[in-house]
Amino acid sequence: MMIMSRDVVMERVQNLVRYFVCRRLSGDLIRLKAMYDYFVNNLSPSEIAGKYGIHKTVVSGMVRRVIELAGKEWIARWVLRILYRRLLGVDPIVVVVKSMRGSTYYCLICSKAVRDPFIHVRTKHKDIVGGVLRAVLDGVRV
């Protein structure tokens, strides 16, 4: 069996944490909670779907994406177990503004409406993402 080097594991941990940081900064809380329920609390996709009012296939899609980023399921489980609280504490920089015409995403840094908050945060606020990523990973050793 191939032993994964520490650098490779750390790179995958960073990939996954960066993803959750971007999701939290863009105001997405459900994804983090749903993935914690899946990987740490061992709930099934249908239980999670019922709990958060989302479709089961959406939950399965989230799980696939997380495993893809982490490379291994145990890395995803480890990240969520160790860093869930810190990720939960990340303050969003995008908020949802509701009006009679529907919901709009508004970036507090740019002071403007944005179409896709996740893409916006990932591409336009790399400095903030990097800073939060370092804070979340502070003191973490693999």
Q: Which two tokens stand for residue 42?
A: 């061992």
Binding site for Zn ion (CB under 5 A): 107, 109-110, 124
Q: Which two tokens stand for residue 36?
A: 């914690």
- Judged by CB, which is closer to Zn ion: 95, or 110? 110
- Judged by CB, which is closer to Zn ion: 34, or 132? 132
Q: How far is the CB of 23 from Zn ion (least distance, A)?
A: 15
Dihedral angle computed from the Cα positions of residues 5, 10, 16 and 21, in that order, rounded to the nearest 10 degrees: 180
- Judged by CB, which is closer to Zn ion: 50, or 131? 131
Q: How far is the CB of 91 from Zn ion (least distance, A)?
A: 14
